[in-house]
Structure 1
């Protein structure tokens, strides 16, 4: 697990992921269905589309925002989003998420800690990739969280399997005097959060 701490920086940006060779991508692939659920992304509130054979952009809505403060109830302190991606592709291939970028904004007062976390796994498989980013208040501005996912999390060969992404934003402590907001989106509009896909032949 990766944990990073930012102190009052206007922008936290990590180095871009290394590009993978796209020549191993299958001849055909498409998204059949996207199912989302959770307090941060009710069904129908996100968009997922292919831009090419190696990138999956995910657009989160304003629901994916955690908040704390004197007048904020505890259920707003953590928001999660469970995404299930049904992807079909040519037989004889397997794929994995090797990296991901989550872009959002934070407005956190001193004494408040924010966490952006994500977990990646395939339905029916035990392997899981998990990453987290920590923002320590005071912090105000945009952030970029880049995940380096363990390459052992591959879809099973010879069969289709749902790709599951479980992401969350959370703030602590609850019920304090300090306030904060943490979002995986933009204050006015939407950021594209990228999943980087690599392929291999079985």
Structure 2
């Protein structure tokens, strides 16, 4: 299997959000909708996430409290990593294809010194072997909100047509296990849920 990967090692870095644009000379499709969302994993039991869109270029994903990793003397080792596999079935006007241009993340973490948090996502289209992976590390001590912006420089385009399944495998993790330090990442706190906004761009086939 062929993988195209781009990695980031950031610690709570805040970067400006991009303005997603269509490829030069192209327009977004006349019709666009999320036909179906299928998801599952230790961090996203049924009914725990919400996927919406503001227009044909921005796909916000809101995770619930289950998407929370914890470590510490009294923590269950199974809670040190939580993952969520999301399959988005997008339908749009024929003759277009799209790619993920970038992604923004926001969440909350409380991590002791000596503990490291990881926020990771892998993107690919069903039926294709190429993928793009982004990774962020948050080194303790850290307490408060964080934001992360990923420029996905490798363009992965959906098949030409009027429907495409975008797959996102997201996970959060904390290390080390069994140490004296404690940590929590991507928890609900003061109504601040973990969110992931995908920015997409379009081109005509």
Secondary structure of 1:76's counterpart equals helix
* Equivalent-residue separation in structure 2 for 1:174 and 1:29 (angstroms): 44
Measured after TM superposition, the shift of residue 157 of structure 1 is 1.0
Matched with 2:178 is 175
Matched, 1:54 2:57: yes
* Equivalent-residue separation in structure 2 for 1:160 and 1:150 (angstroms): 23
Matched, 1:2 2:7: yes
Unaligned 5+ runs, structure 2? 1-5
Matched with 1:86 is 89
* Equivalent-residue separation in structure 1 for 2:46 and 2:159 (angstroms): 26
CA deviations 1:63-107 (Å, max 9, x no partner) are 111000001111000000111001111110001111011100110
| Counterpart mapping for 1:5-154 below 5 A | 5-6=10-11, 12-21=13-22, 24-154=27-157
The two structures have a TM-score, normalised by structure 2, of 0.90
* Equivalent-residue separation in structure 2 for 1:195 and 1:186 (angstroms): 21
Structure 1 moving runs of 4+ over 4 Å: none
Matched, 1:188 2:190: yes
Matched with 2:3 is none
Matched with 1:198 is 201
Superposition CA RMSD, Å: 1.6
Secondary structure of 1:75's counterpart equals helix
**Are the counterparts in 2 of residues 35 and 84 from structure 1 also a CA contact under 8 Å?**
yes
Secondary structure of 1:96's counterpart equals strand
Unaligned 5+ runs, structure 1? none
**Are the counterparts in 2 of residues 100 and 147 from structure 1 also a CA contact under 8 Å?**
yes
Work out the number of aligned pairs and report it: 197
**Are the counterparts in 2 of residues 12 and 142 from structure 1 also a CA contact under 8 Å?**
no
